[in-house]
């Protein structure tokens, strides 16, 4: 496995995936993507695990696409679905907990929302900032934000591209635990330990039932998002915004 992604067996039943690409602040680099795919493949091959925890490092969870990948989409050299990382947690047969101790930005926030459980940090920033750059959302954002956060807040986040602290989202009534950054992993572990008390077969069977609708519906939204990208991504204004605003 690449150094940016580690898979640790916390207990024989609990797997912990940690994303730590300090140089690129956990953007979706080639190395981070390969590490995630490898980690989930290893989890799939293990017949003892019952639950997966996803987390980042220090003040970063996942920061979304790289500037280079956004420019490649602008230049029609790439589409965001070239490699399906956005639904790794949804497609995993085991319950997945996103311990989002740090910032979740753009596709990184979306990536975390596809988990079965989400724990946010009061101090961290969460944003679906696609429209900040002038292009419509991808990564399944138009599906998962209204689904998980509610239509009103989900549409607000998608249309405005604004950033929100975890404590602001808590005040808006999101249905997730929001705790101090130092407490996020402890809360995630409490959830994981409670899940691990259940039979593996029952967890897999119930998750498959609970997310079957989401799995069936997502592809249609991805197709529509790609069509919107064809209409919105290749504007000169978008190119300028990617060049000047990225990382701000």
For the chain, which residues make up each domain, given as ranges? 5-181
Give yes or no: 229 in active site. Answer: yes
CB-CB contact of 51 with 189 (8 Å): no
pTM over cut 0.85 = yes
Determine the 3-state secondary structure of 212 from DSSP.
helix
Return the C-alpha torsion angle 138, 109, 210, 35, nearest 10. Answer: 90
CA–CA separation, 2 and 25 (whole Å): 15
Q: So what's the pLDDT on residue 2?
A: 62
Question: In whole angstroms, how far apart are CA 167 and each of 45, 90, 164, 173, 248?
Answer: 38, 26, 8, 10, 21
Tens digit of each residue's pLDDT (9 = 90 or more) over 207-239: 999 999 999 999 999 999 999 999 999 999 999
Q: So what's the pLDDT on residue 247?
A: 74
Q: What is the CATH number of domain 5-181?
A: 3.90.226.10
pLDDT in tens, the chain (248 residues): 568 999 999 999 999 999 999 999 999 999 999 999 999 999 999 999 999 999 999 999 999 899 999 999 999 999 988 889 999 999 999 999 999 999 999 999 999 999 999 999 999 999 999 999 999 999 999 999 999 999 999 999 999 999 999 999 999 999 999 999 999 999 999 999 999 999 999 999 999 999 999 999 999 999 999 999 999 999 999 999 999 988 76
Question: Which one of the listed residues 24, 103, 155, 229 is annotated catalytic?
Answer: 229
Question: In whole angstroms, how far apart are CA 8 and each of 11, 105, 136?
Answer: 9, 25, 36
Beta-carbon contacts of residue 213 (< 8 Å; ≥ 6 apart): none
In DSSP terms, 62 is beta-bridged to 104
CA–CA separation, 180 and 172 (whole Å): 17
Q: So what's the pLDDT on residue 22?
A: 95
Q: So what's the pLDDT on residue 83?
A: 87
Structure token pair of residue 174? 């999101």
């Amino acid at each position: 496995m690449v150094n940016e992604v580690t898979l640790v067996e916390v207990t024989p039943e609990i797997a912990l995936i940690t994303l730590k690409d300090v140089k690129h602040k956990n953007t979706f680099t080639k190395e981070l993507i390969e590490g995630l795919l490898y980690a989930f493949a290893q989890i799939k091959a293990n017949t003892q695990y019952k639950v997966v925890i996803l987390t980042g490092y220090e003040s970063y969870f996942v920061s979304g696409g790289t500037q280079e990948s956004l420019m490649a989409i602008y230049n029609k050299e790439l589409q965001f679905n070239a490699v399906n990382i956005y639904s790794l947690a949804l497609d995993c047969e085991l319950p997945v907990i996103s311990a989002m101790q740090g910032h979740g930005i753009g596709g990184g926030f979306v990536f975390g929302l596809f988990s079965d459980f989400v724990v946010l940090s009061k101090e961290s920033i969460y944003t679906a900032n696609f429209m900040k750059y002038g292009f419509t959302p991808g990564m399944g954002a138009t599906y998962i934000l209204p689904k998980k956060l509610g239509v009103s807040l989900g549409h607000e986040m998608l249309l405005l591209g604004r950033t929100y602290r975890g404590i602001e989202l808590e005040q808006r009534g999101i249905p997730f635990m929001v705790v101090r950054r130092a407490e996020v992993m402890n809360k995630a572990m409490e959830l994981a330990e409670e899940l691990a008390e259940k039979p593996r077969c029952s967890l897999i069977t119930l998750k498959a039932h609970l997310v079957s609708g989401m799995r069936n519906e997502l592809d249609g939204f991805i197709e529509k998002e790609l069509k919107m990208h064809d209409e919105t991504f290749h504007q000169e204004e978008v190119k300028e915004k990617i060049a000047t605003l990225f990382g701000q």
